[in-house]
Structure 1
Amino acid sequence: MSPCSLLPVILGIPVFLPDSKTESIKNPRQSLLREKRGWTGHSFYVPEESNISYYYVGQIKSDLDDGSEFFQYRLLGDGAESTFVIDERTGEIYAIKKLDREEQSLYTLRAQVIDTITGRAVEPESEFVIRVTDINDNEPKFLDEPYEAMVPEMSPEGTFVIRVTASDADDPSTGNHARLLYSLLQGQPYFSIEPTTGIIRISSEMDRELQDEYLVLIQAKDMLGQPGALSGTTSVLIKLSDVNDNKPIFKETFYRLTVSELAPIGTYIGKITAYDNDIGENAEMEYSVEDDSQTFGIVTNNETQEGLVQLKKKVDYELQNHYRIIARVRNPHVSEKLRIYHTEAAKAIIKVLVNDEDEPPVFLLSYYIFEIFEESPLGSAVGMVSAIDPDAKKSPIGYSVTDTRRFSIDDNGTIITAHPLDRELSAWYNFTISATEKYNMQQISTVPVYVRILDINDHAPEFPEHYEPYVCENADTGQIIQVISAVDKDKSEEVHHFYYNLSVEDTNSSFIIMNNLDNTASIVTSKSGFNLQEEPVFYLRILISDNGVPSLTGTCTLTIYVCDCDGNDDNQACDNKGFIKSLAFKTQVAIASLIGMMLIFGLVFLIFVLKQRRKQSLFPEKGEDYRENIFRYDDEGGGEEDTDAFDIVELRSRTFLRQPRARKVPSEDIRSLYRQSLQVGPESALFRKFILEKLHEANTDPCAPPFDSLQTYAFEGMGSLAGSLSSLESAGSEQDENFDYLNELGPRFQRLACLFGPAMPTNQ
């Protein structure tokens, strides 16, 4: 092939060989059956943004094309007919509109050669590419706008602030269209930017208190800033965060405040203010006060950051009418590296003036304690309180007391007794004294007063309980029957000591007392053997002395019962029996007393009826003297026939109860109770003597009543529980008298007669 034949290939123009052309002209139909020889022009370039309406792109040509009018080119594919067109005869391709590489940088098309006669393709389609070449038509654009950054104030040079980034839509492979350089248009001298990375850094220290934010302008240029380069700009808002580099400062260096002397503790009397150029936590303040008297303090209001001056101690105008204090303020949150900014706290002087007020009286003491002996005479001085007017006018003071029933107070403040005081009733008295200004009755103060009643020895010792000792009939000498103790209502400065002795009347008693030297004493028998029937009860008077000054002696009576003990002389058993017998005995006495009273009233009523029947009294001279002790009967005696009914001779013997008639007794307890009834009579020997004297008088008196009458005697015994008793008297000669009425009353009346008088004989 000659060089001339290679030129179309180099230029991209399809070339058809001459022999092919001649043959296709001679027989066009046969050309469709021939094999493809080839296409020329497979890739074309079109610059973007071309302003030519029909911009020539290039030409495609089939190697079968010999210039015959029977060949026609067609264009198919992306952008065919809308963006690109082809000349049907020549195969030249034109762009019919402006292209934008950033929208589409590559178009893939197909070309066909059509036989106009047959309408068929002469050969298969040929595919080719049209590329849109880039021009620098896009300026850089910044991403992530708007930009904001924050950096601490006073940051050192080179501190990183923020990084900005721009992009260029141009083809980075085409020259330097997308290669960018950054520069700072605004923000010097505090900031700088790295040209290739877009990193902004601090180039000079900044103070937030002078300026707290900066607006920095950044420019980005493509083509490395060469002539014809495009650029884009953005802004960065850089704020300075606060650091605690400023200490608080008082707005005023001198404050004047006032406080009333009546103001209570905790009162806020004023406020002081400081300011801090810092913000947030760095502007928080803490106040303190320099006050040696510790009278005032300052509390910080966390919301307003003000200092509230507070009263911590009561003030008194008369003692001190003004104060001078120094207030300090500081930041509580300061880091170590910022201590250099807070070496000395700010100070301010506060002068506090105390206002004079009309104050109530003031007692010299907050409370008073006095002592006085009990039983002191009325009007005795207890103690003295004193109050003064703290104001300059010194108003006179009047006093009053709440407990006016026991105490009173005079104008001098002397407390006086108004009622007898007894320590045993109350050892302390608490009341209140009021002091009132006479010039201003509204000014009143009170003070508590405590009065202690001192003891004097005004109570004799006594038994702490009721003792009921028992002694057995067969008790031996030296037997302890009771241990006694004593109590004293008085309060002794020392430990109580009691001394026990028998009364003078009981020194020859059947018992003695032995001090145990431990404030107790033992009652001990001084003889052996006791008789239940003769002396059932002993009354022992015991003298108990204390160790007070002067010493007091009390007399206490100890009742000792004689009891019938069992055979083994068990004292405990004796106590148990005695206790049961005592209960039975007391019950029996109560019942017998009630029945006896009923019978006496019945007998009195009967006598009254008999007196009405009998006009003359047998014993008129004794009627008024003996009253209820005289029983009068109008019955005529039975003469000698009555001698069996009553035998006066029995009265001459010792007092005893004859063996009653045989009757059925259901139990031993009843016999025991019957025997107990003998214990209430008077002493046997004394009563026997009394009866014998009366019998002698009756036998020798010629004016004695008739023998068939009932003689009554009144007798007061020594130590008898009944207190008095009576007896029936008659002449010594035998006489007949009917006492059937006694038999009619039955055994109960006989037992009652034993309780209230000597033993009454019964008919055998």
Structure 2
Amino acid sequence: MGGSCAHRRPAGPWQVLLMFPFLLPLFYPALSEPIRYAIPEELPKGSVVGRLAKDLGLSVLDVSARKLRVSAEKLHFSVDAESGDLLVKDRIDREQICKERRRCELQLEAVVENPLNIFDVTVQIEDVNDHAPQFHKGEINLEISESTSPGMRTILESAEDPDTGVNSLSKYQLSPNDYFSLVVKDNPDGSKYPELVLQKTLDRESQSTHHLVLTALDGGDPPRSGTAQIRILVVDANDNPPVFSQDVYRVSLREDAPPGTSVLRVSATDQDEGINAEITYSFLGAADKAQHVFSLDSTTGNIITRQPLDFEEVERYTMNVEAKDRGSLSTQCKVIIEVLDENDNRPEIVITSLSDYILENSPPGTVIALFKTRDRDSGENGVVRCSLSRDVPFKIHSSNRYYKLVTDASLDREQDSEYNVTITATDRGNPPLSSSTTVILHIGDVNDNAPVFQQVSYVVHVSENNPPGASIAQVSASDPDLGPNGHVSYSIVASDLEPRALSSYVSVNPQSGVVFAQRAFDHEQLRAFELTLQARDQGSPALSANVSLRVLVGDLNDNAPRVLYPALGPDGSALFDMVPRAAEPGYLVTKVVAVDADSGHNAWLSYHVLQASDPGLFSLGLRTGEVRTARALGDRDAARQRLLVAVRDGGRPPLSATATLHLVFADNLQEVLPDLNDHPEPSDTQMELQFYLVVALALISVLFLLAIILAIALRLRQSSSSAAGVCFGKGLCSKSKQVPPNYSEGTLPYAYNLCVPGGQTNSEFNFLTSVDHCSATQDILNNKDSSSVLLASILTPSIEADKTFKQVSI
């Protein structure tokens, strides 16, 4: 038998679709009628069952592209990978597969992917005449009394043929003889059994035994047969056979009945007496399976179970029971035992297709698994419903005998990276039975989370003069994604520094987020700056987040105080402050002004007197630097006083600077000059010699200097502008406020009149005096009187001499 024996079952509305293969994929969900094939049993391996790919509307290329395959509990078939034909994979024996069932069908599932679909395929196994009828015993022994009247019937053992249909047992034949004939009768289940009919009276004396051949034939083409030898022993008369109370006994038995359960009791009576009325019971032609499951008491006729029953294996047992008396007369009855189904089989879950790895952005309704259920019980006991474990974002969709496990909500791998989904199948039995299977689903990561910094913003304090290359801060961002989606790199994306200078100030490590100083910071130049750092993952597309980092440069005491006042003149000479002789205690003489480029405590200045000509004459404000008179000027006090002031900051350790104050007690300028000449500060011998030398030279050159002064005065009158701050000449005195350049902090000095000798590029010496005194001096010089001229002539050499002295002493 080759593959040519395979054929499609005719008729059925589904066949219309096969005429339009190109439209079949559009109607896949609507196909509820399975594809049916019919083949004879015992086909050789490789035989073609049907053109499966063609019947599904698939091309030859689709067979491999969509992975066409079949699945079943016992796989007797396979799919040709090139043609898509359904082939016989293993030996198919209908009698072994379907046992006693008249209709033998194998259920398959045809599975295709992209998209995933499953189709029911039914292959009907047709019987071939591969079995001959067989009798349970090869020899049948009968005893018939010679007094038996013609027409007496004796039931003979039936033959068995596992084939079905026309190939099953069809008829019986008896070898030709003069005494017996054969009658074939039908059982209620449709089977046939033979009866031996006595045609004429026997005579034991003429022939004590008769040998006959009983032949059983099936309806195959050609027919097959089996034989049994009948040996008839003629005995003396026993003219009444046993009679059963019923021709057919029917009983129902639960399949959970334990071994030893009494099923029923058959009973027969015999009108004879004595040993001819003693009856024995036996199974007549019972199948081997029935004889193993049930036992018959030969004396009482009680039938009991020997083994557990299984409805799913055998639903009904049919047995013939024979009652025979001692005279070899017999009769038979039929016993039919119906097995009642109990809910003794748990539902089964069969996973047909499973995708155990899905991305977390899979939309709701994504198919994860395809499965079916099976329960060997029948009726309500075989009806199954499925459910899922609680608190999982999945649900089940049912379709005919199949179920789909689909997503029911959005997934989040960062919240749950894996699900153990338990599918439970429960039948409707009483009590219900259930079974479960667990599917492990792994959730794949997508880049759906941007990096998140540990802080909303960062503030870091860095002391100035830090070493270049030192780390000053570290930012950290986390990303719950996996792999490149969660790998974070850092960069600087903005700053309030100049873009060109940014790289020379700071840098950030892309992997660790550590921020490094590229240079030493100077608090006095840059007190604070702000950076915008970005954390960026490596997903596609990449996600990022920004955070601000404010760097505060802390101050160190690296700048000493700088004295703004008193300051040296343009020529490097010291300035003098004039104090009225009648100054009261507390009179503000001058103020030492100093600044410190540092800030905070490091710029908190204090003023201290280091040296003083007369320590008790003046007081110095600790924080203000104001010099005030501590007492009134005495007669013995010198007109010139000198204070050496130290200015210290509040740093640790403190830094300091010094300033020298020259103070002159006088009510006007006229008093200042003689006082400067008459009361020189104590000096050594060399200083005195230098002083007298200067005086001598001044006297010798007085006339020459006077002429120069007069010439300068005349020239200044003619000029449109006068030299600022000059007191010797017309319009040569002006008020000037000494404000140091680049001054940003501290207390400014008071306003003073700066008086220098006129007509000279480098002043001989400088005075700081009041405006009134400067005006008085100007009036003296502008006076045409000869006495004024003489005073000027006298003052000039004196001032020259005193200037030389002061420059040396200072």
Normalised TM-score (structure 2): 0.35
Structure with a larger share of its residues in strand: 2
Task: Using structure 1 for the length normalisation, give the TM-score.
Answer: 0.37
Larger Rg: 1
